[in-house]
Amino acid sequence: MAAKRYLFTPGPTTVPPEVLAALAEPVVHHRGSDFRAVYQECLQRLKQIFRTSSEVLLFTASGTGAMESAVANLCSPGNRVVVVSAGSFGERWAQIAERYGCEVVPVRYEWGETPAADDLAAALRDTNGARAVFLTQSETSTGVVADVQALAAAARPSGAHVVVDAISSVGAVPLEVDAWGIDVACAGSQKALMTPPGLAMASVSDAVWAPEGRSSSPRYYFDWDRTRRAQEQLDSAFTPATSLVVALNVALGLILDAGLEQAFERHRLLGRACREGAKAMGLELFSPDDDSAAVVTAIKTPEGIDATELVSLLRDRYGVQLANGQAQLKGKVFRIGHIGYYDVFDIATALGAVELGLAELGADIERGVAVTKALDVFAEGAKV
């Protein structure tokens, strides 16, 4: 008998049975009327999820594909761009922009710090004519969720396009694309949108479509104009991952039927339960200890314990998959994702596994307290 598997990473995430069932349906042709009806509904639902009346472009790619499309369509070689970075995925913005020949002005923080709007405003005042500002809402390498509403407000007076990596945040924490003046928001299917990896989205504001808003960078597959023209005809510029689109449409329906605000509250409570459970175990948090950390909880390993060894032990012995730290945090922290199709019993399972693993590796922890604390915190929060 195959071992049961538990997926508690910040992406990919667990997929609801209704979405898995949609994946098992017969493959349809992307130019047939049956698929076009689903495609139309999916595109409309994406607008509701992003809280925008503008176009949401859909690509068969990972979320990074949507990020690259933003740079390719907005920036020309030599353009000056400001990148706010406080972790691995902020650095990804800088790397993509540099590959496209942009002059990158970094607003860089220590990993684990939260970006401040005043710092961005000061950097833009010192920068002569920034073309775009690249932000990361949920930095899953650290657990920090930045205040992109304040950051976008700080960027707007400069006239730069405001571009947000919302790959792990859309559907999990509030994101108001139109109300906050965000020009582009990028996302992926495999996070809070509860669908397997393979689809990327980019919401693109009406202002970006003006001729002066375009770039001279070469692009083909990620050409926004080509994709937009096709979607206006309920078509796709290239063969889409039809089964994934069908599945995503089901997932979006589940989220919207339950209510976006309810999704935000559930994620907030799950994050709080996870943090309080970890602290009850005597562990130190790396991610912020506040309700903004609703996507992933990053936890420091006790002295003498290697997070790499802990993550491997839990995966190989118990079928519990957590995430190791990234880059300089590898081996020093482990991360528990709680976005998408998760509930408090998943948090209890993840914390219970951490207790087992740490005890086996020789950590001095009190057994049983983490799960009890997490359940109590969630139950108390749910009453409010």
Residue 61 confidence (pLDDT): 98
Could you read off the pLDDT of 135-155 as tens digits, one per residue?
999 999 999 999 999 999 999
Quick check: 332 pLDDT over 70?
yes
Residue 1 has pLDDT above 80, yes or no: no
Digit-coded pLDDT (tens) for 240-271:
999 999 999 999 999 999 999 999 999 999 99
Average pLDDT over residues 89-110: 98
Looking at the domain that runs over 260-383, which CATH code has it been given?
A: 3.90.1150.10
Fold (CATH) for 17-257: Aspartate Aminotransferase; domain 2 (3.40.640)
This prediction's pTM: 0.96
Domains 17-257 and 260-383 share a fold: no
276 token code pair: 């309080």
Ranges of each domain in the chain: 17-257, 260-383
211 pLDDT more than 80? no
Rounded distance, CA 169 to CA 154, Å?
20
Summarize the confidence of residues 117-125 as an average pLDDT: 97
Task: Flag whether pLDDT at 213 surpasses 90.
Answer: no
